[in-house]
């Protein structure tokens, strides 16, 4: 999958790895834009190292880390196992505390539903990621208008970027075209299909995620 959709502006951007299922070795790393700060929460450190990234800082209680030896060579902050926030929230606090306003999130897919639901809820507090990559899909945040190429035949879904988000979306190159289609927690476009090489998606209201599953 070679479609790309991210803002090339000069705003500082973090690359954040968290626990839960993420991409495996062999993933097309060109889909990840340049980032100024690379960080990881708990077992997200395993994913980062497996993909070949050098982590600037890891944070968490590391109770899920598969290879604790990684902590010997990684600058990290050890959190207590009993705390009132998750390791992922601590990671997002780390990013915002550095004044970084944009981030790419890797991991957090599948697994326990309560964990996934909590992760999704954090987007309302700290802002949604510009890109979210799990083991199953890549999700691009679309704020107003984005154009993706090499999209013919690809399955796409359009979902809200937060629990309270409400938007209207147009994307006319799809098998079931969207024309000011409402996107919120009660209405999404799921498993649609692009019928053109180029997909243009326009959003009015809150940002949405354009989700593209991996082949």
Q: What is the mean pLDDT of the chain?
A: 93
Q: What does pTM read for this prediction?
A: 0.93
pLDDT score for 1: 44
Rg (CA), the chain: 17
140-213 architecture in CATH? Sandwich (2.60)
pLDDT digits (tens, 9 = 90+) for 160-200: 999 999 999 999 999 999 999 999 999 999 999 999 999 99
* Residue 43: how many other CB atoms lie within 10 Å: 22
Closest CA to 55 of 22, 42, 157: 42
- The percent helix, strand, coil of the chain (3-state, each to 5) is 20, 35, 45
Is the alpha carbon torsion for 191, 196, 198, 200 positive or negative? negative
13-135 architecture in CATH? 3-Layer(aba) Sandwich (3.40)
For the chain, the structural domain boundaries read 13-135, 140-213
pLDDT digits (tens, 9 = 90+) for 95-109: 999 999 999 999 998
pLDDT digits (tens, 9 = 90+) for 47-98: 999 999 999 999 999 999 999 999 999 999 999 988 899 999 999 999 999 9
CB 127 within 8 A of CB 165: no
């Amino acid at each position: 999958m070679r479609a790309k959709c991210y803002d090339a502006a000069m705003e500082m951007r973090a690359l954040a790895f968290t626990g839960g299922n993420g991409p495996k070795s062999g993933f097309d790393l060109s889909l990840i834009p340049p980032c100024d700060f690379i960080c990881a929460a708990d077992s997200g450190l395993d994913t980062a190292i497996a993909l070949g990234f050098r982590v600037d800082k890891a944070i968490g209680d590391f109770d899920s880390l598969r290879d604790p030896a990684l902590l010997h060579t990684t600058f990290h902050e050890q959190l207590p196992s009993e705390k009132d926030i998750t390791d992922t929230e601590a990671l997002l606090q780390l990013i915002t505390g550095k004044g970084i306003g944009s981030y790419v999130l890797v991991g957090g897919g599948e697994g326990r539903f309560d964990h996934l639901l909590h992760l999704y809820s954090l987007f309302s507090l700290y802002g949604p990621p510009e890109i979210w990559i799990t083991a199953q899909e890549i999700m691009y945040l679309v704020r107003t208008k984005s154009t993706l190429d090499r999209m013919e035949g690809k399955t796409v879904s359009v979902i809200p970027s937060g629990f309270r988000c409400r938007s209207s979306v147009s994307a006319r190159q799809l098998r079931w075209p969207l024309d000011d289609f409402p996107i919120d927690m009660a209405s999404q476009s799921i498993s649609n299909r692009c019928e053109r090489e180029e997909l243009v998606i326009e959003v009015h209201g809150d940002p949405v995620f354009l989700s593209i599953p991996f082949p």
